[in-house]
Structure 1
Amino acid sequence: MQATDAINRMWIRSKSHPGTFLLSDRNTLNSALERLLPNEHQPDNRTEPLNLIMPAYETMWRVVILTFVSVASRNRDPRTAEELREAVKNVPQCFCQGNDAETRALAIAKEGLRLYPPTKHIHRARSIADNDTSVIVADVEACSRDYRVWGADALEFKPARFHDWPREDTLKKLSYFPFGVGRHVCPASAGFAPRMITLLVVELTRRFGTWQTGLRIRLGDVEVQPQVPSLLPSGRIDMENWVLDMDID
């Protein structure tokens, strides 16, 4: 917990006070990493431990847990429930097969990425020509939740919207960019991230089940309710004090 707490504090501070950090947090983080990854701190090893843990930490964990809660505990759509059961049956054997089973399984991760993109905003500086130092901000989250693009059920978790993704209209394709756009797309978008998210959600389902099998999840003192057109809190600070209590009756 020391490593993750220190990363959270340093990340939040970097957003509110760019270019600054707390020495105590950096020391705490380095000490925790030495215990977690002792081999990476050997004199003959130049690997930076943060390079190993940050991609998984920053890009993966929130999407995985929010997708799992959405599909296993909040979902009341029979079609989505059946798709989750099929994923549990077919993953990971269906991966890299290019068949319908893989398309339907990966749709679960893609819908999680749509509703809860790991990067909510993309910032790009304008050209320095004419002394223009302004910054352009792409609101990834707003685009992926826009009713005008995704329909009246835009805030509902429905993986089926990605089943025919190759034939979807251009507007939806342009509105879905959880891994960035253009030349700055994250390499994980090529297939690794959706498969990893799907695999982890499936494994959580295999271990804890769904609401149909008695799963109950509480976020703090509040029990997760059936799916309604509302979203789970997904900010770093919002999720800092979550307690995921899974009880199987």
Structure 2
Amino acid sequence: MKAGKTVPEFGDNHELQERLLSIFENHDVLDPRDNPLNLILPGFETLWRIVLRFFMVLKTHGHEHWKETMISFAQGPASKQFKLRSDKDDISAEFLVKEALRLYPPTPRIRRAFQFPGSHQQQNTIIADIEACQTDPGNWGDDALEFNPARWRSLTSEQRNSFLAFGGAPFQCPASQDFGPRVIGLFVGILLDEIGDGWILGSDDVDEQRELDSGRRLRNDRDSYAGVYLVERVEE
């Protein structure tokens, strides 16, 4: 975070309270039972993995207008702002979030135990490879492994059906339409705004640092990039 700044207690953090209320209008953020953070924090593992990957992509790709788009959304996290396309490149915060979810699905594989109606026979567990569906060049083109939010301007029906970051009907996550993508965008925008351009990503692992600098798709394993840290930028 910026030098000299400290994290206030939640009761004194009026900015965070206001941003939560912009999404959860009917909640009492000061009520321990009704606080929306009770919904957010249990999704720690999967939520923060996509937040971290998305943040790392925007910090290393060098597209300043993408960062500006996410910061603008975090400063006014309403649905209209989420879908608003930038005058610079016709890219919205929604496009950026969905492209991050496509390349870095929080749950790479979904397992379901299926039993045919009327059958008493135990069926094997079926595994859906979400990561493979969302990075298949046959559906997404030769740039399937590249972070390209412009693809969301116009999707084919095959691409729409292959985007399963929140599962598929009838087992689709209820957060898929609004809450999930927007809260990811909110957290990434806040991180970019608070950390600013004075800090860059670093690692003591040479191979890991090379990955960060390459601009290529990052690994999405659960324990990847545990050694990455923020380094204060030194002006030459």
Q: Report the TM-score when normalising by structure 2.
A: 0.69
The structure that is helix-richer by fraction is 1
- The letter for the 1-side match of 2:95 is A
| Alignment RMSD | 2.8
Aligned partner of 1:96 in structure 2 is 79
User: What is the match of residue 140 of structure 1?
Assistant: 130
Distance apart, 1:243 and its partner CA: 3.5
CA contact (8 A) 2:91 2:149 kept: no
Match of 2:141 among 151, 154, 157: 151
Q: CA deviation at 1:214?
A: 5.4
Question: Aligned residue for 2:232?
Answer: 247
In 2 relative to 1, CA 219–185 (structure 1 residues): closer, same or farther, beyond 3 Å? farther
Provide closer, same or farther for how the CA distance between residues 220 and 112 of structure 1 changes in structure 2, counting only shifts above 3 A.
farther
Structure 1: tracts of 5 or more residues without a match: 1-38
Aligned pairs (5 A) from 1:1-249: 53-55=41-43, 57-73=44-60, 75-76=61-62, 80-93=63-76, 95-97=78-80, 98-100=83-85, 104-127=92-115, 129=119, 131-162=121-152, 164=153, 167-209=154-196, 213=197, 215-221=199-205, 222-223=208-209, 224-228=212-216, 231-239=217-225, 241-249=226-234
CA–CA distance in structure 2, aligned partners of residues 159 and 94 of structure 1: 19
Superposed CA offset, 1:84-112 (max 9, x none): 22332344426212543597012221111
Residue identity in the other structure for 2:125: V
Gaps of at least 5 residues in structure 2 are 1-30
In 2, distance between residues paired with 1:71 and 1:51?
Answer: 26
Following TM superposition, by how much is the alpha carbon of 1:130 offset from its aligned partner in structure 2, in angstroms?
6.3
Between the aligned partners of 1:94 and 1:196, the Cα distance in structure 2 is: 9
Asked whether the equivalents of residues 73 and 186 of structure 2 are also in contact (C-alpha less than 8 Å), the reply is no
Runs of 4+ in 1 over 6 A off after TM superposition: none
Q: Percent identity?
A: 30
Partner of 2:18: none
Contact 1:208–1:248 at 8 Å: present in 2 too?
no
Q: Give aligned pairs, total.
A: 190
Q: How far is the alpha carbon of 1:247 from its aligned partner?
A: 2.2
